[in-house]
Structures are given as structure tokens and as C-alpha cells.
Chain A
Amino acid sequence: MTASEDRDLVARAVSGEDTAAFGELVRRHQSHVRNFLRKLAGDHALADDLAQDCFLHAWDKLQSFSGRGSFIGWLLKVAYTTFLQSKRKSKRYAEILESAGHVADQESRHQVLPDDEVTDLDKFLAVLTEEERAIMVMSYACGLSHREIGDATDMPVGTVKSVIFRGKEKIRNSFDIKDHQHG
């Protein structure tokens, strides 16, 4: 899976509206995007729906991929934007419900995993803010460089570094991470 192959596929998809080339891009990157969104949303079904929306947005905006950075970096930017838009929409929906007199049960809106399904990673992610979570996942799970994360989140590289530093500190302060094993 090389960057130049991705760029070729993007060029094919854009120039001739080649959906097969786009399908290949989806096949290559769906795992990263879905895992990224699962970690952000904490709900697998919602994350997969968001991943579908993300790829449809990516198809619409494919011409805007300049080829300067990696395609996965660009794709995660689209995924993060899709996630934030969905959060905004659900927040607005909750506000409408509340103003209409419905007392929405917080627990029912956020799928809570049973205790035995809560992993160390879930515990770590829980102490982070949404922004920190997104940046830490991009860095440690997706292997994006600080520059790529900066591009994806519209943040200067310095800010990305400080968010990662802060995230690590929070995890360090909340848990003794040396005692944790993978899982």
C-alpha cells in the first residue's frame, strides 16, 4: 500500500469518475478510518455509519486532495470533520428535544459498553478530551506525523505536539501505564 499507488487511484477516480478506483481506495483504508472513528465515537455501529458518510464526503471532495500529504491523512481529516458535524447535529437534536420537554436519558444516547468489554484503551481514552483523543489516535493508532495531524485538524504543528504532551501526561497521571499490557 504505497502513497504513489494511492495518488494514482485518486487521479483515476477523479479524471474519469472511476468508481472502481475509488472502491479500491475504500478497501485499502476502511480499516484505519473505521478504527479511528470507533475510538472517537465509542460506538461501533455509529462509527461505521460515520465511516460511510466520511467516504461519501471524500468522493465529493476528491478533487481537493492535492497529493501533498498522504491520502490517509487527508481521509482522516474528512473523517474527523464528519465526526464533529455529527456531534454538532446530535447536540442540536438533543437541545430541540429538551426544549420540547423531553428529558433525554444521557445513558440511552451514549452506548455504554459492559464492564467486561471495557479495555485499557477505553479507560485511557475516557480521561482525554475529544480533541486530545482524536490527536492521540491519529498519532499512536494511525501513525500520522505531527505535520499530517496538523493538516488534518487545522492546527499548527506546535499545538499538535503540546496536545500530545498533555494527553500523555493525563494518561500518565491517571494510570500507571507501565503496568498495562496491550488490550
Chain B
Amino acid sequence: MRILRRIVASEYLVLFLCLAWFAALAPVAPGLATPRNLANILAALLPLLVVATGQTIVLITGGIDLSVASVIALASVAGSALVTGAGGPLAGSPLAVPAGILTMLAVGAGVGLLNGTCVAALRMPPFMVTLATMMFFSGLAIWSTQSRSIHHLPPGLLLAGGNVWISAAVALTVALAVHLVLRRTLLGRWIHAAGQNPKAALVSGVPLQRTLILAYLLCGLAAGVAALLITGRLETGSPVHWRSQLLDIIGAVVIGGTSLYGGRGAVAWTAGGVLFLTLIDNSLNLLSLSHFTIMMVKGSVILFAAYLDTWRSRLIAAA
């Protein structure tokens, strides 16, 4: 009982949940524990890890970025359209691959900058700003491509997402970089302070506007990197990539333990949340449940995790 209390009170509760889930389902979900499936899980969680890492930054400031999924779609089609063998302006050029990658990152950073400017300088509520940019850029992506996917992409562009080891290296680099920014730099302190108490932060000389703009910019940039991975994995630039994944992104961050109210969060927690959601998806798929059953089970499991979290808060308060 004491060990259990320690586990529940732990920061890494979600990792224990992953272990419990894995141990419980491994005997019944065929192939769950095979090396091939573990590689599948890894490949599936990497893009989610990258975009959720960016989202963690924004959630810590007390904001939210709903536009990340549409940033992924827009960055994916913008970068792809530039270099596609089917009529892209840079097709065949030796600059095609770096230009495609840079375009994706620039689109991510650009939308992030726009979000951040609206939130910080114009003091608009993050939910409304990013809801609007989500609609606008998702519409832009679909309109500009006439809802068609873009193919015939140069192999170099697909390498980062197509090869699981390169994807892993990219994703871990992003996660580690954001972890260090949050934990070891002045900007990280400012990001936390902005979420913990913006008034106190302002009085203490924290440049709130700059901090918020940078937070949204980094979040957009991470979505740009995720777009690169997803485009490579599916060998397609598509205006509807990840359209239905927004709640997975925010859900993974929050299940990890980052607060929706700001001030509290960590990349390592988010990584746990990403693993948990991916593991649930994968194992339920292996059980050959229908998509709708999976959604229902996933909903229940997330609710249960949320319950455990409140139980944990009480446990910590009483300790």
C-alpha cells in the first residue's frame, strides 16, 4: 500500500500507468510485446512527441495553442508544393531538400509568431486567437491545394520521417532542447513565471510580451518539425494531415501532468503522456477493436487517468 501511494504521488505516475497497461495487455493483445510492434509504437509516437513538446511550453505560460494541427497541415503542403516532382518550382534542384525543410520550419515559426503577437501584444485570449488561426490556416491549406495531397517528393525530404532512427534522433533532439530551455535557461524561468503569476512576473521585471511571443514561436516551430516527420512518414504533403489529432496532442501533455492553468509542466512528463496515448491506441488496435470502440475505451482510460491525478493531488496535500 505504501509503495502504491509512492507511485501515485510520483511525478511520473503516467509512466507507471504505461507499465501497468503494458503488463496487463501484453498477454492478451497479440504481438504487443514483439520487437516489430515496439518499433511501430516508437515510430508512431515520435511526431506526437515533437508537437506535444512544443505545446507544453505554451501550456506552462498559461496559454493554449489549438492551431498546431493546422500548422502541421499547412507546413506539410507548403514545403511539399515547393519541391514536388509534379510541378514544384524547385523540383530537381539541389536546394530542394533544404528549401523544403526550411519552408516547413518557417511556416511553423511564422504562425507561432502571429499567435504570440496576438496573445502578447494585442492581449487577445489564447483560446480565441489560436482557434481563429486554426480555422484560417486549415482553410488556407485545403483551399491552396484544392484539398489534394502532394506526392512525388524528393527522397531527401522524406528521409527524416521515413527512417525511424533519424526520426528518433530529430524528436529526441527537439525534446532535449526544449527540456533544457525550460529547466536551465532564463527564458525557461520567465515562461514558468508567466504562467504562475503574470502580475508578479511583470513587477519582477520579466519581459512578458517577449516571453509569450517566444513561447508560441517555439510551439509553432515544433509543429513545423512534426510536419517534416509526418510528411516523410506518409510520403505525402496533405492539407488534412493530423486534422483529427488536436485533442491527442493537448491530451498527451495534460495526462503527463502539465497544468492546463499554467505554471507547471515538464517535457519528461509530456513524453510519458505521449507514450501512454500511443500505447493505448496501438494495443487496442492490436485487439482489433473498431475505431469507435477504441475512442470509447480511450475516453474512459483518460478519464480514469484524470481521476488518478486528482487522487494524487489529495494524497500529496495530505502527506
Tell me, yes or no, whether A binds B: no
